[in-house]
């Protein structure tokens, strides 16, 4: 088979939309396999239904005791107000998060430390490369959101800074 005939055969296979072709003659043997062009949708089953809340009897207020306020409302309002002044420092890549340069080395930053823009705050290992991650802004570290040596996603918050 000549090169031109072989090229025409490959073009025909490409236009046919087939994902796998095996051709065998006395002169040659060709096996062509490619990825499917259509995406497959995989369903993991129906989502679990959330448990329905059970009715709870309201507390009876006695004249000697003050009324009881729901604790969840008061507890949620304070962190929401303080979180508004905090900016997350996010991961610029997918990889493994490390707080220090080695197992025996101290962490780059601790809660309460003041950081400058461009200061190294952690390392993310991606494909056997250790990438130093620098602070995008100056401020004080309020909270570390990721455990050491755990995988992180792109744009995942790593630290809270104020």
Handedness of CA 109, 136, 133, 119 (dihedral sign): negative
Output the pLDDT for position 68. Answer: 53
pLDDT of residue 44: 45
Q: Which two tokens stand for residue 9?
A: 């055969």
Find tokens 């755990």 and name the residue.
Answer: 150
Q: What pLDDT is stored for residue 42 in this prediction?
A: 44
Domains of the chain: 3-33 (no CATH), 84-161 (2.40.50.100)
Secondary structure letter of residue 118 according to DSSP: T
DSSP β-bridge partners for residue 151: 96
* Residues in a beta bridge with 24: 29
The total of other beta-carbon atoms located within 10 Å of residue 77's CB is 10
Mean pLDDT by 10 residues, the chain (162 residues): 72 70 75 59 47 56 52 48 76 93 91 93 91 92 93 93 90
- Reduced to 3 states (helix: H, G, I; strand: E, B; else coil), residue 15 is helix
DSSP 27: S
Residue 150's pLDDT is 93
* 131 Cβ contact partners less than 8 Å away, ≥ 6 residues apart: 93, 95, 123, 124, 125
Displacement of CA 81 from its chain's centroid (Å): 26
**Contact by Cβ (8 Å): 145, 77:** no
Whether residue 108 contacts residue 99, with contact meaning beta carbons closer than 8 Å, is answered with yes
């Amino acid at each position: 088979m000549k090169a031109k005939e072989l090229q025409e055969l490959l073009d025909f296979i490409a236009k046919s939309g087939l994902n796998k072709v095996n051709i065998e003659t006395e002169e040659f043997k060709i096996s062509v396999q490619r990825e499917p062009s259509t995406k497959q949708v995989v369903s993991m089953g129906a989502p679990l239904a959330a448990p329905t809340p059970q009715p709870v009897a309201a507390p009876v207020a006695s004249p000697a005791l003050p009324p009881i306020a729901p604790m969840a409302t008061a507890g949620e309002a304070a962190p929401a107000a303080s979180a508004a002044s905090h900016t997350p420092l996010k991961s610029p890549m997918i990889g493994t998060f490390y707080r220090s340069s080695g197992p025996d080395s101290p962490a780059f930053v601790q809660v309460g430390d003041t950081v400058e823009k461009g200061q190294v705050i952690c390392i993310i290992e991606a494909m056997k490369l250790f990438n130093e991650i620098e602070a995008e802004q100056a401020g004080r570290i309020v909270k570390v959101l990721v455990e050491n040596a755990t995988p992180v996603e792109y744009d995942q918050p790593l630290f809270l800074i104020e």
